Amino acid sequence: MRITGHTKLLGVFGDPVEHTLSPFLHNAVFESLAMDMVYLPLHVTKESLKGAVDSIRVFEMPGINVTIPHKNAVIAHLDEVDDQARAIGSVNTVVNKDGRLTGHTTDGEGYMASLAEDTGFEVEGKRVVILGAGGAARSILYSILKRKPDSVTVSNRTIKKAEELVREFGALFASAKLIATGLDVGKRLNDCDLLINTTSAGMLAKTEAAIDLFEVSNLNKDAVVSDIVYRPLDTPLIKKAAELGLKVHKGLGMLVHQGALSFELWTGTKAPRDTMMFAAIQSLEVS
């Protein structure tokens, strides 16, 4: 990598931020497209968030990614926020246009693009079960509801959180059929077209899966099983679904596609997703 007197700085604000894979993805693209830019992990505490946002203007950064725990708090410091980010209450991408900072969210649309690429699944008219009711579930649920599914069941360990999410999004999408349940989804999977895990269950050495894996066999043979966890690439849920011969959608694609959409917002240039995927796989091996 060559740093010059013109090199533009980008990065991700987070706390913790040292495990982020985003620098691998973006720096690989800058290199492949010979763009004079560099992307760094930037450790930003809650107390320093405002100062960090000001620095986007000070250093004339084209933009920034925002991750945990700042996706909501950053909104108060921006000049403008797009409709989807406002509704979800989450910004993962900030664009700096001549000192004016706009907030966007690419998580949900990145997820949808990756799902379509890997499985060709179309949400309209379909029955979806989402496991989890946290930040990732919010982003994905919003993008799913935009595409007019038949119904969405939000299943969460803490049922109250699923009920709150269903109530809130039910008000935004008046005609949507939304159901809140616990994680005992068993029978519901009989008529489910897409099962999505948005919980951290399955990640590294944590709990095997959010649901009893035995229940996955209740899905019909055309159902798609999707897991946003990418460490490991093949989670116990993905392995089980593949064993049953179901179509699967793994988590790394969402990371790549949300990053690609951020890059496109910053630069107006089409992101080479293959380059990003290659970098993502390599980075998992070294991180």
Residues making contact with ligand ATR (CB under 6 A)? 132-137, 156-158, 161, 198-201, 206-207, 210
Question: Measured from the CB of residue 222, what is the shortest distance to ligand ATR in angstroms?
Answer: 26
CB contact at 8 A, 201 and 210: yes
Distance between CA atoms of residues 67 and 226, nearest Å: 22
Distance between CA atoms of residues 141 and 108, nearest Å: 8
Residue 210 vs 276, nearer CB to ligand ATR:
210
Distance between CA atoms of residues 169 and 167, nearest Å: 6
Question: Measured from the CB of residue 77, what is the shortest distance to ligand ATR in angstroms?
Answer: 20
Q: Active site includes 71?
A: yes
Name the active-site residue from 8, 46, 50, 71: 71
Residue, CB closest to ligand ATR: 134
Residue 102 vs 197, nearer CB to ligand ATR:
197
Question: Measured from the CB of residue 177, what is the shortest distance to ligand ATR in angstroms?
Answer: 21
Place of tokens 């899905």: 219
Cα–Cα distances (Å) from 117 to 184, 207, 254, 256, 257, in that order, read: 30, 29, 10, 12, 10
User: How close are the terminal C-alpha atoms of the chain, in Å?
Assistant: 19
Question: Measured from the CB of residue 221, what is the shortest distance to ligand ATR in angstroms?
Answer: 26
Residue 136 vs 225, nearer CB to ligand ATR:
136
- Here the tokens at position 84 are 């989807």
Question: CA 126, 131, 133: angle at the middle one, nearest 5?
Answer: 110
Residue 52 vs 210, nearer CB to ligand ATR:
210
* Spacing of C-alpha 97 from chain mean position: 24
User: What residues are annotated to the active site?
Assistant: 71
